[in-house]
Each structure stands twice: as structure tokens, then as C-alpha cells.
Structure 1
Amino acid sequence: MYQDDYNTCNTTYTTLRIYSESLSPQDITKYLEIEPSEIIDKSIEKDILMGENITFNAWFLTSKNIISSKDSRRHIDYIADKLLPIKEKIKNLTRQDVEIDISCVWMSESGQGGPTLSPQQLSKLAELELEIWFDIY
């Protein structure tokens, strides 16, 4: 199913993004029992460009630098497979003041082609009740 050398793709990776005004990144980590790839803690971080306080916390789990495949399906599966065992926790977070989605960066090798989603990925995302969006270059 996977095409790890997906010849129309230069680079791809997928990131689970969780944003909350009230839950700290540490609260999210403890609740999910998964270590994030990166966090933004509003109690510590400042917007470098604006010099203002950030008004939200963020928690990220990414396939970047972990999965080397150029097939976005493998990256989506990496994230989805980590979340499926805790899908009720994910769904519970979405019922709170938390925004959750999956972002997929996809950079074309030549300006042609595009990412593919198979029924397997669509089924996993539906089970998790998560949206995915693509940032395509």
C-alpha cells in the first residue's frame, strides 16, 4: 500500500496539534500518557515577533524526523496508530475547550502530483473523529 519513494513528493510529515487556553502542555502529556515532540507553554513563551504574551498552550506530536517515507499515508498512520488506543481520551479533549487537528505538510518534487489518502487512513481518522488538513507546497 505504501510508496515510500513517492516520486512526486520531496518531503512530507504529519503533526497532531492540540491547542488549549486552560490545559497546560504538562496536563495534556499526563492525561494522554504520550510524550510530545514539542510544546508551547503560555506561562513561559512570548510571541517573538510581537513581544506579547501567548494566549494559548500548544502540544504537538509529529512524524517529522521520525518517519523517512515520502508517502503521507505512512506519516498519518504513525500519528493515528499512537492515538487509537487512547481514542476516548482524544474525544474527551475535543469536548473541552481544546482544539485538535492533524496537519500534513506535503512538498512537491516538481509541482505535479499530490498526496494520497487510502480508506485505511480515512477509517482511522473517522474513528478518532479528527480532521486533517494539508499544507501543500
Structure 2
Amino acid sequence: MALFSGFFPLYCNCVIEPFAFIENYSLFRSLMVSEKPLGSRYTPLDANTPKSGRTCCKLVIYPSCSVEEITEILGIAPSSHESQNIGQIIVNSRGRQRTAKLTCWCLTSDDIVASLDVRHHLDWLLQKLEGAEDQLRQVQGLPDTQMFVNCIWYSRHVKGPTLWPEQMAALSRLNLECSFDIYWDYDEDD
């Protein structure tokens, strides 16, 4: 069953990435709270308004098996710079080495989606997971496996990030919790 893909470009003038049109329109309409989603929304989408200094969303999986096995089950390639197998030697940007203590499979919108609105990043991630519902449930059923969506949000402004009901419904259907790491970066001159 298709989730939804690309509904943001239908309701705003900003195009961050070329999403496919909605594959299952009736499912999408059943998720809508209103016929006019922006009509009652307090926070319209805006890719360029600096609500945050930086944001991204990631699907994080801590499995009891290898990154390669999770990739094979999901049929989705992880973000290589954030995925690791237990025992793997990791070299950071300063040349320091460490040994990975956990296996981590990660798919992130960082450096892919240019928007400052976390909803564009989450839409990208949900689009990537479209069609993999059964595979996600298979991974969720593996022993000693944890899986969640993590949104990272840096801000110099008072308002925080927003999710829309369609995104929350999609996360629920995928049995994915969503956490936020929020960092406030105030300059004393502000």
C-alpha cells in the first residue's frame, strides 16, 4: 500500500525535491483533516523562512544484525556516513579513530533536503519508506532491535518545529516513534 508522496508541492510554491505525484489519492484524502489543509493550519510550509538554522530527519535502526542485512531486508540503501557495524573502525573528520560499540543503520535527509522546515525533511524520509511497510515490520520484529525517527532542529528563534497530521498518521502506520533533538543557539546581540 502506498503512503503518500509529494503532497507538499501541491500546497506550496516551494519545491525542494522533485517528488512523485500521489500514487494512492484516496488514501491521502482519508488522511486529510480538512479539504483545504492550509486553510486551518497555523503553520504554513515555508522552505526559506529561517525558523531553524539547520534541520534534518533520520530513520535510525539499532539492529541485532549487520547494516548489510537490514539493507537487504528493507531494499533501501542507508546513509553511509552515519551507518556502522559493531566493531567497525570509524575515523572522524579530525582523523581520530574509534571502534563502533553498536550497529547503526541510518537514513538521513541531512545534505539532501535544502529546506529549513522540518516537514520537508520528514516528507522526504516518508517518501523513501513508501512501499516498505512490510519490510519495516519485519525489521521491527527482529530480537533486540530498536527503530525510530529522529528530527534534529537547531534554532535561533522562539518558534519550534511543527508536524502535520498526515505525517503523524504515516509515522503511526509505520509503527515509528518520532523524537526531536532541539538545540537553541542564541547570540547575545539578538
Distance 1:36 1:50, change over 3 A: closer
Cα deviation, residue 93, structure 1: 1.0
Whether the 8 Å CA contact 2:66–2:103 is kept in 1: the answer is: yes
Instruction: Name the residue aligned to 2:146.
Output: 99
* 1:1-137 superposed matches below 5 A: 1-21=44-64, 23-38=65-80, 39-45=83-89, 54-97=100-143, 98-110=145-157, 112-137=158-183
Residues matched between the structures, number: 134
Q: Which whole-Å CA distance do the structure 1 matches of 2:176 and 2:48 have between them?
A: 27
Q: 1 or 2 for the larger relative contact order (CA 8 Å, sep ≥6)?
A: 1
Instruction: Read off the aligned partner of 2:54 and give its amino acid letter.
Output: T
Q: Which whole-Å CA distance do the structure 1 matches of 2:167 and 2:133 have between them?
A: 15
Based on CA coordinates, which of the two structures has the bigger radius of gyration?
A: 2
Cα deviation, residue 2, structure 1: 2.3
Q: Which whole-Å CA distance do the structure 2 matches of 1:41 and 1:14 have between them?
A: 21
Q: Which whole-Å CA distance do the structure 2 matches of 1:69 and 1:44 have between them?
A: 33
Whether the 8 Å CA contact 1:5–1:69 is kept in 2: the answer is: yes
SS in structure 1 opposite 2:130? helix
Cα deviation, residue 50, structure 1: 10
Whether the 8 Å CA contact 1:47–1:54 is kept in 2: the answer is: no
Whether the 8 Å CA contact 1:15–1:60 is kept in 2: the answer is: yes
| TM-score after normalising by structure 2 | 0.64
Whether the 8 Å CA contact 1:15–1:102 is kept in 2: the answer is: yes
Instruction: Read off the aligned partner of 1:33 and give its amino acid letter.
Output: G
SS in structure 2 opposite 1:9? coil
Cα deviation, residue 44, structure 1: 2.2
Instruction: Name the residue aligned to 2:26.
Output: none
Q: Which whole-Å CA distance do the structure 1 matches of 2:124 and 2:45 have between them?
A: 13
Consecutive unaligned residues in structure 2, runs of 5 or more: 1-43, 184-190
SS in structure 1 opposite 2:76? coil
Cα deviation, residue 29, structure 1: 1.0
Structure with greater strand percent: 1
Instruction: Read off the aligned partner of 2:76 and give its amino acid letter.
Output: I
Cα deviation, residue 6, structure 1: 3.4
Identity of aligned residues (%): 30
Whether the 8 Å CA contact 2:154–2:182 is kept in 1: the answer is: yes
Distance 1:5 1:47, change over 3 A: closer
Whether the 8 Å CA contact 2:85–2:103 is kept in 1: the answer is: yes
| TM-score after normalising by structure 1 | 0.87
